[in-house]
Structure 1
Amino acid sequence: MPVPEATVLCNNFNYHQHVHDHSGKTSCELGHAHMHPGVTGLPRPVNNSHDHILQGITTFDHGHTHSYYTITGPAIDLPGGMHTHYVYFETNEVDGHRHRVQGFVVPAAMG
């Protein structure tokens, strides 16, 4: 079933043409850290820009995992038609602790 053009194009930006890698390492808490491998969701138009949902589960380390759910900041333009998004989140609490992630998703082309 075709997607209506209004949901695909906004300011000549095709919102179904990119996602971002957000893999990395969490903060170290209680002597350990986790990896948070993943890819963002599709772009969501917001205030003449867009954001992405970022959710997943960390790697299994020290006998447990953590889950996380957040929304990136708006697009940050980079040279060469690329862009990124700032992200900050805390995982859920497991065994009395949480982990933090702060930084930028891997740049992607502007559709």
Structure 2
Amino acid sequence: MEIPVTGFVVNNNDSDSEHSHILYLTSWNGIPIHVHEFKGVTSFDVGHDHRYASKTEPAPSGVQHVHRYCTFTSVDNEHRHLIKGVTGPAIPLRGGGHFHCFEGCTTVSGAIPHTHEYSGKTGDALDC
């Protein structure tokens, strides 16, 4: 089965990378797709917190949808955690567009094994 995909390729100019180009998809099977940026700070546990920032996986535009996300936290207290999950559904913004809320618990890590809670919203939207 063939699915028509459109997009563009950009040279990432990273000489240390195993990949010299980045592929940006703009449509999947004729449906426009988009991503959202997300960032935040985890809960304060075992004497520290972590920061995180990334982009969601692509999802279709113009229909109700969610986004998967996955990133690592900053290294603090000599360790980091994995953040991974699925956003809530799209929430419309008054001026157009939308955002998503997300929340979860990191993986276990650290000399004293522990997790952190996190929550937020994609982009520059109002609080969830």
Normalising by the smaller structure, the TM-score range is: 0.7 to 0.9
Higher normalized helix content (fraction of residues): 1
RMSD: 2.3
Percent identity over the alignment is 33
Aligned residues, how many? 100
- Runs (4+) off by over 6 Å: none
Structure 2's unaligned 5+ residue stretches are 7-26
Distance, in Å, in 2 between the alignment partners of 1:42 and 1:107 is 18
Equivalent residue number for residue 98 of structure 1: 115
TM-superposed CA distance for 1:33, in Å, is 0.5
Structure 1's unaligned 5+ residue stretches are none
Distance, in Å, in 2 between the alignment partners of 1:41 and 1:74 is 14
Q: Compute the TM-score of the two structures, normalised by the length of structure 2.
A: 0.69
Give the 5 Å matches for 1:31-110.
31-43=47-59, 48-95=63-110, 96-107=113-124
TM-superposed CA distance for 1:24, in Å, is 1.1
Find the residue that maps to 1:106 and give its secondary structure: coil
Q: Compute the TM-score of the two structures, normalised by the length of structure 1.
A: 0.78
Between structure 1 and structure 2, the one with the greater Rg is 2
Letter in 1 for 2:103: Y
For the 8 Å contact 2:56–2:70, the answer to whether it is kept is: yes
Find the residue that maps to 2:84 and give its secondary structure: strand
TM-superposed CA distance for 1:37, in Å, is 1.3
Answer 1 or 2: higher relative contact order, Cα 8 Å, separation at least 6. 1
